[in-house]
Amino acid sequence: MSRVRPIAPALASVLVLLAALTACGSSQEAAGEQGSAVSAERCEQNEEAGKITYMSGYYWQASASIMEAIAADRLGYFNDLCLDVELQPGSGDVSQNAKLIAAGKVQVGPLSEQDIMTSNASGLKVLGVSSYSNAGLDVLMTRSDITDLAQLEGKTLGHKGWVPVGVQAMLAQAGVDMSKVKQVKVGYDPGILTRGQVDALVGFVSNEPNQLKEAGEEVTVWEPTDFDVPGSLGAYSVNPAWAKKHPTAVQDFLRAIFKAYAYCAADEHVEECIGYQHDLAGAESDEKHETAIWRTEVEVAADNPLPGRFGSVDPDNVAALAGVVTTYAGQKVTPEDAASWFDTSFAEAVVDDTDKVIWPAP
User: What are the tens digits of pLDDT across the range 289-301?
Assistant: 999 999 999 999 9
Among the candidates 227, 253, 288, a domain finishes at 227
Total count of domains within the chain: 2
Report d(CA 281, CA 270) in Å as an integer: 16
Task: Note if the bond before 360 is cis, omega within 30 degrees.
Answer: yes
pLDDT range class, residue 275, cuts 50, 70, 90: very high
Q: Is residue 356 part of a domain?
A: no
Nearest Cα to 254, choosing from 135, 325, 351, 362? 351
pLDDT of residue 33: 80
Q: Is residue 353 part of a domain?
A: no
Angle at 81 between CA 36 and CA 245, to 5 degrees: 145
- The verdict on 170 and 215 lying in the same domain is yes
Q: Is residue 9 part of a domain?
A: yes
Torsion (CA) 342, 66, 30, 275 in degrees, nearest 10: -170
- The verdict on 219 and 262 lying in the same domain is no
- CB-based contact 256:173 (threshold 8 Å): no
- The verdict on 175 and 287 lying in the same domain is no
Report d(CA 156, CA 136) in Å as an integer: 23
Which residues are paired to 279 by β-bridges?
Answer: none
Angle at 319 between CA 314 and CA 321, to 5 degrees: 95
Q: Where are the alpha helices (DSSP H) in 136-246?
A: 165-173, 191-194, 208-214, 240-245
- CB-based contact 126:44 (threshold 8 Å): no
- The verdict on 15 and 119 lying in the same domain is yes
Q: Which residues span the domain enclosing 185?
A: 138-227
- The verdict on 155 and 125 lying in the same domain is no
- CB-based contact 333:322 (threshold 8 Å): yes
- The verdict on 65 and 205 lying in the same domain is no
**Residues sharing a CB contact under 8 Å with residue 277, sequence separation 6 or more, in sequence order:** 60, 61, 62, 66, 67, 70, 285, 290
Condensed to tens digits (0 to 9), the pLDDT of residues 158-182 reads: 999 999 999 999 999 999 999 999 9
Q: Is residue 359 part of a domain?
A: no
Among the candidates 199, 227, 255, a domain finishes at 227
Tell me the mean pLDDT in the region 255-261: 98
pLDDT of residue 284: 79
Q: Is the pTM value of this prediction over 0.75?
A: yes
The answer, yes or no, to whether residue 24 has pLDDT greater than 80, is no
Residue 198: which CATH number? Answer: 3.40.190.10
The answer, yes or no, to whether residue 46 has pLDDT greater than 90, is yes
- The verdict on 13 and 89 lying in the same domain is yes
pLDDT range class, residue 190, cuts 50, 70, 90: very high
pLDDT cut 90: percent of the chain above it: 89
What is the residue-wise DSSP string for 118-155? HHHHTT---EEEE-SBS--SEEEEE-TT--SGGGGTTS
The answer, yes or no, to whether residue 131 has pLDDT greater than 90, is yes
Strands (E), the chain: 3-4, 51-55, 84-88, 108-110, 127-130, 138-142, 156-159, 182-185, 200-204, 220-222, 236-238
